[in-house]
Amino acid sequence: MGSGYSQLSSQHLTKEQLQRVEQKFKRLSGGDGQASIEDILLLPELAGNPLVPRMFELLDDDGDGFLTLQEFIKAIEWFGTIKTADDMYRLAFTLYDLDADGCISAQELFSMLQQLLGEGVGDQQLERVVQATMLQYDTDGDWRLDFREFVALMNRVDLYGKFTFTVC
C-alpha cells in the first residue's frame, strides 16, 4: 500500500477495499493517523446521524477520542457484517444498551431517544413515550427490555434504511 499501514489486514475486506478505506481515512484524518468524531461526521453517509457519537464511543477502543485506521477498518467491517434484520437488531441493541449489561433499561431508552430526537421533544413527553414503550413491550415486567422484547419493538421501525451505507 505504500505507507506505514502496509501490514493492515482484514477478515471481511479485499485488498482493494482495504486500500480504498485507507485512502478515505487519510483524507478524513488529514494524514495524521487519527480521526475525530468531527472528521467522521464529514462522511456524507453519517452527517447528521444522531447515533454517530454512540457508534464512535463503541469503536474507539482506547477511549482517546480518536479513531485509528485499524479502528476505522473495524467500523467498516462491523457494518459490513449486517446482512439480515437480526444483524441490524443486534447492532441497534448494542447501541441502546449503554452499560452493556444485556438489557435496555428505561433510563437507557430515555437517553437514546433523547439523543435521537434532540431538543425537539421535551423530557416529560419522552418520559411518557418510555413508559408507554415499557408497558407495551416489557413482557416480563422488570422495566428493562431484553433482546427479544427489543426485537418486538424494533419490528415496528425500518432499521434497514438507518443502518446501511457505503464507505469504501
What is the set of domains in the chain, with CATH numbers?
15-80 (1.10.238.10), 85-162 (1.10.238.10)
Q: Is the pLDDT of residue 3 over 60?
A: no
Share of the chain above pLDDT 70, in %: 86
Cα gap 26→49, rounded to integer Å:
22
Higher pLDDT, 13 or 165: 13
What does the pLDDT look like over 59-99, one tens digit per residue?
A: 999 999 999 999 999 888 888 778 888 888 998 899 999 99
Question: What are 35's strand-pairing partners?
Answer: 67
- pLDDT-derived band of residue 14, with 50, 70 and 90 as boundaries? confident
- pLDDT-derived band of residue 123, with 50, 70 and 90 as boundaries? very high
Helices (H) and strands (E) in the chain, counts: 8, 2
- pLDDT-derived band of residue 42, with 50, 70 and 90 as boundaries? confident
Q: Is the pLDDT of residue 6 over 80?
A: no
pLDDT, residue 76, reads 85
Question: What are 145's strand-pairing partners?
Answer: 104
- pLDDT-derived band of residue 140, with 50, 70 and 90 as boundaries? very high
Helices 147-154, 85-96: inter-axial angle, 10-degree rounding: 110
pLDDT, residue 4, reads 45
pLDDT, residue 103, reads 98
pLDDT, residue 1, reads 40
pLDDT, residue 50, reads 86
Burial environment of residue 162 by CB neighbours within 10 A (0 to 12, 13 to 18, 19 or more):
middle
Q: Which three cell numbers stand for residue 96?
A: 441502546
Determine which of 2-11, 32-41, 83-92, 137-146 has the lowest per-residue pLDDT on average: 2-11
* pTM higher than the cut 0.85: no
Cα gap 120→103, rounded to integer Å:
27
Cα gap 116→136, rounded to integer Å:
21
